[in-house]
């Protein structure tokens, strides 16, 4: 069975996109890079379709969403349309939307029982002192709810600095969360890469000297790390709670155990593959291919049962 798998990506030259194309082709299937912002959605009763560069995408068997945070609305609309067309999607549209709402994500993770840094959200700037005290005082972290890749994350070293930062964000009508600073992590975190309920690779990301953010986009470095049992379980529980079969789970090592920072629904492949030497793209391709074959097999069985009846 030769499958046609679409990769929803705005740039075919990105490392993650190129690696997914290579992995799909290496397994004997066809890969097509689709810029989701250039898709036309055809909404029609019993005949939903998507057109890309004037051609129908009805022959696509599955899609792997690589949706950037800035285009979440339209990107997830395209994924939802593929779902309506009964195509296999590596990540469901609803899970994508959920993962982009940091506050909602934290609420879901808290309900799942995983460890989290103390976090406070408010829409009322006059209670700044109580906000700061609720997370254990300064130093503390202030995060924009819409920030990504370490942008929109500020370390407030003192209570006075925290007050100024929070009040400044509120004056600009920016929505922020205030989070405790885990000093023992020493500017490092762990990225666990999940594919289909398994950790396929993990790296420790260390911020550059004088930088508390460990994101590779902020100049951090990544090295192979072996997860403890508690870290592995926390990462898998977090991905499952968010409904993400493919996820990058970021966690901190703290004195009270692993603390989940974020669950990323479109994690990059370059850092994890180069740090661990693992074929993560191959694991994703395998999951998608097997998912499509399993889905087609179930559909075929249902049709046979109906015809026999």
Q: Per residue in 39-60, pLDDT tens?
A: 999 998 889 999 999 999 999 9
What CA–CA distance (Å, rounded) separates 62 from 88?
5
What CA–CA distance (Å, rounded) separates 38 from 49?
14
What CA–CA distance (Å, rounded) separates 254 from 43?
49
Same-domain pairing of 170 and 189: no
Q: What is the mean pLDDT of the chain?
A: 90
Span 249-256, mean pLDDT? 95
Domain that holds residue 293: 4-91+282-308
Q: Is residue 250 domain-resident? A: yes
How would residue 213 be classed by pLDDT, with cut points 50, 70 and 90? low
Q: Is residue 192 domain-resident? A: yes
DSSP secondary structure letters along 163-199: HHHHHHHHHTT--EEEEE--GGGTTEEEEEEEETTEE
Q: Is residue 259 domain-resident? A: yes
Last residue of a domain, one of 165, 181, 197: 181
Assess whether pLDDT exceeds 70 at residue 81.
yes
Same-domain pairing of 26 and 86: yes
- What residues contact 233, with CB distance under 8 A and at least 6 apart? none
Same-domain pairing of 86 and 11: yes
Same-domain pairing of 239 and 295: no
pLDDT (tens digit per residue) in 88-133: 999 999 999 999 988 899 999 999 999 999 999 877 667 788 889 9
Same-domain pairing of 209 and 132: no
Q: What is the pLDDT of residue 305?
A: 58
- From 16-30, 154-168, 186-200, 209-223, the region with the lowest mean pLDDT: 209-223
Assess whether pLDDT exceeds 80 at residue 210.
no
Same-domain pairing of 172 and 191: no
What is the CATH number for 164?
Answer: 3.30.1490.20
Can you name the residues that pair with 264 across neighbouring β-strands? Answer: 248
Q: What is the pLDDT of residue 88?
A: 97
What is the CATH number for 239?
Answer: 3.30.470.20
Q: Based on the structure, what is the number of domains in the chain? A: 3
Contact indicator for 282, 64 with CB cutoff of 8 Å: no
Q: What's the half-sphere exposure (Cβ side, CA atoms, 13 Å) at 113? A: 4
pTM given for the model: 0.88
In the chain, the percentage of residues whose pLDDT exceeds 70 is 89
pLDDT (tens digit per residue) in 258-295: 999 999 999 999 999 999 999 999 999 999 999 999 98
Q: Is residue 106 domain-resident? A: no
- What residues contact 175, with CB distance under 8 A and at least 6 apart? 121, 123, 144, 145, 146
Assess whether pLDDT exceeds 70 at residue 306.
no
Residue 187: count of CB within 10 angstroms of its CB: 17
Assess whether pLDDT exceeds 80 at residue 157.
yes
Assess whether pLDDT exceeds 60 at residue 214.
no
């Amino acid at each position: 069975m030769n499958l046609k798998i679409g990769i929803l990506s705005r740039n075919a030259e990105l490392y993650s996109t190129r690696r997914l194309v290579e992995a799909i082709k290496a397994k004997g299937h066809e890969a097509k890079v689709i810029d989701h912002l250039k898709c036309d959605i055809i909404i029609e009763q019993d005949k939903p379709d998507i057109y890309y560069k004037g051609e129908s995408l009805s022959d696509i068997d599955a899609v792997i969403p690589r949706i950037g945070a800035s285009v979440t609305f339209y990107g997830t609309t395209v994924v939802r349309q593929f779902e309506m067309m009964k195509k296999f999607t590596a990540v469901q549209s609803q899970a994508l939307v959920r993962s982009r709402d940091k506050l909602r994500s934290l609420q879901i993770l808290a309900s799942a029982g995983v460890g989290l840094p103390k976090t406070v959200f408010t829409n009322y700037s006059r209670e700044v002192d109580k906000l700061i005290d609720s997370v254990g005082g300064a130093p503390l972290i202030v995060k924009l709810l819409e920030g990504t890749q370490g942008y929109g994350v500020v370390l407030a070293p003192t209570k006075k600095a925290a007050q100024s930062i929070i009040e400044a964000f509120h004056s600009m009508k920016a929505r922020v969360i205030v989070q405790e600073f885990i000093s023992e992590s020493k500017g490092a975190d762990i990225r666990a890469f999940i594919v289909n309920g398994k950790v396929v690779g993990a790296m420790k990301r260390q911020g550059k000297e004088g930088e508390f953010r460990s994101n590779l986009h902020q100049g951090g470095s990544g090295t192979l790390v072996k997860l403890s049992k508690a870290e592995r379980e926390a990462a898998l529980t977090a991905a499952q709670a968010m409904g993400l079969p493919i996820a990058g789970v970021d966690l901190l090592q703290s004195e009270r155990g692993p603390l989940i920072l974020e669950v990323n629904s479109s994690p990059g492949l370059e850092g994890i593959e180069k740090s661990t030497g693992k074929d993560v793209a191959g694991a994703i391709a395998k999951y998608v291919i097997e998912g499509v074959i399993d889905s087609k097999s179930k559909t075929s069985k249902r049709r046979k049962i109906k015809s026999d009846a």
